[in-house]
Amino acid sequence: MASDLLKDLPKEKYPRHIAIIMDGNGRWAKQRGRMRLFGHRQGISSVRETVRECHRLGIGYLTLYAFSTENWNRPPREIRGLWGLLKYYVQSELPELKRNGVRLRVIGDFERLPADVRKIIQGAIDELAGGKGLALTIALSYSSRDEIVGALRKIAREVKENSLDVEAIDDDLFSSRLMTSELPDPDLLIRTSGEFRISNFLLWQLAYSEIYITPVLWPDFSPDELHKAIAGYADRERRYGKTSDQIRNEENS
């Protein structure tokens, strides 16, 4: 079983922050002769199981790409269905998330979401604010390019107002102006459905992330599949531009 892969794996080998591009709901439904929304509904079960398993494993941060700015171009009926499923998930899972100490945050153009969706999500964010466990981030109406442009605008305004010196701008400062400023960069990016692209997701933050592509469609993504991704991550050597010899020497020093 895939879960055996983590049996003897030290916790320090686990990724601290996992980001997931949840892809393949529509194809999963089409393969079964059903409407796309049927696949999205089944995908909610995969979200539930993935959040539970990350909590159980002690993963610190989980970021899920749920709805991009480009997804607004989908049929209105599908979009309405997605918001309904999101409201259902948040409301039904809130008691368990609170028991497990999960914190919730949203990145993206939050104000573009329907008012009833914003109300439910903001209520859950407030309710879970005191959690000390898994930090769950959901990307909704999110575009990484928009996020980067927004950060640049913030910095430009600060420079124009003489509250920031141009020479003070560096990687850390730029990161602090992003929507993910309170999060560490992802250690591991998982993409389901076998697509080899990152689809305008966390472009700055993924600079040194390990990427794991699985052909499994999101509705079929199980805790065992998560274990495979974590085990694959643990087998990789993260060099950050250094050589293998340098990394080994640092580990032995």
Indicate which residues carry an active-site annotation.
23, 71
Q: At what angle do helices 36-57 and 223-234 cross, to 10 degrees?
A: 60
Contact 134, 115 (CB under 8 A): no
Alpha helices, DSSP H only, in the chain? 25-31, 36-57, 76-99, 115-127, 144-160, 171-176, 223-234, 244-252
Q: Which H or E element spans position 142?
A: strand 135-142
> What contacts 46, CB < 8 A, 6 or more positions away?
22, 218, 219, 220, 221, 222
Distance between CA atoms of residues 43 and 18, nearest Å = 18
What is d(CA 120, CA 86) in angstroms, rounded to the nearest whole number? 9
Q: Which of 53, 50, 77 is nearest to 66 (CA)?
A: 50
In order, the DSSP letters of 34-99 are --HHHHHHHHHHHHHHHHHHHHHHT-SEEEEEEEEGGGGGS-HHHHHHHHHHHHHHHHHHHHHHHH
Token reading at 232: 């694959």
In this structure, what token pair is assigned to residue 217?
């469609």
